[in-house]
Amino acid sequence: MPVQSSIVVTRPLSQDELTAQNWTGEQMAYNTRNFLHYFRLLPDQRFLFGMRGGLFATNTNVRIIKKEIRRDFQRTFPEWANVDIEHEWYGLLCRNRSRTPYVGPIHNMLGAFAGFGYHGNGVAMASYSGALLSDLVMGKTPDLPYAKPMRTVPKRFPLGSYRRHLLRPLYQWMAWRDR
């Protein structure tokens, strides 16, 4: 199922600004919200802050998410509330019902393979999945660990083309729980 993810990146932060917010590391982090926030200091001292967006990538939804991500960034990192945001982007990512990526053959399509459902971990997981897929396509046992959940074809979301519309109440409930 396509769901929106949103990211903002600040201008480079000074050491004084990092100290004011008690930020000391470069490790990526995230919180435990239903609509989690993920963040990290980039090598050039810019700060990346992302969050799960809505179910649709319409202009109206992007405007709403743009306000929400800035509000959540300022609440999470109040010492940086007035730091300029220099870059922002929004896009759809693939969410599997199992919440686990799938890497393997496409059933009923002999010789076809797929990797999808990275849930926002796209660059790292796509690279890993690509290595697995290259072995699978060549008929080799993958050199990398190939966990059983990644080999399990995800079940379809119920309700067909109406599924995203019907998830709106669930999203609203989960957002309410996050507050």
Q: What's the confidence (pLDDT) of residue 86?
A: 97
Q: What's the confidence (pLDDT) of residue 72?
A: 92
* Domain annotation covers residue 171: no
* Domain annotation covers residue 65: yes
CA dihedral for 64, 90, 55, 76, sign (positive or negative): negative
Q: What's the confidence (pLDDT) of residue 11?
A: 98
Q: Say yes or no: 77 and 47 in one domain.
A: yes
Name the nearest CA neighbour of 36 among 92, 120, 149: 120
DSSP secondary structure letters along the chain: -EEEEEEEEESPPPHHHHHHTT------EE---TT-EEEEE-TTS-EEEEEE--S---HHHHHHHHHHHHHHHHHH-GGGTTSPEEEEEEEEEE--TTSS-EEEE-TTSTT-EEEE--TT-HHHHHHHHHHHHHHHHTTPPPSS---HHHHSPPPPPTTGGGHHHHHHHHHHHHHHHH-
Domain count, the chain: 2
Q: Say yes or no: 22 and 80 in one domain.
A: yes
Q: What's the confidence (pLDDT) of residue 121?
A: 64
Single pTM value for the model = 0.77
Q: Say yes or no: 66 and 110 in one domain.
A: no
Q: What's the confidence (pLDDT) of residue 120?
A: 62
pLDDT string in tens for the chain (179-residue length) = 777 888 999 999 999 999 999 999 888 887 777 677 889 999 999 999 998 777 777 888 888 888 999 999 999 999 999 999 999 988 877 778 888 899 999 999 999 999 998 876 667 788 999 999 999 999 999 999 999 999 999 998 888 877 777 777 877 887 788 77
* Domain annotation covers residue 47: yes
Number of Cβ atoms within 10 Å of the Cβ of 117: 22
Identify the domain containing residue 142 by its residue range. Answer: 102-151
Distance CA 40, CA 53 (A): 18
Q: What's the confidence (pLDDT) of residue 129?
A: 93
Q: Say yes or no: 11 and 88 in one domain.
A: yes
Distance CA 174, CA 159 (A): 20
Count of residues for the chain? 179
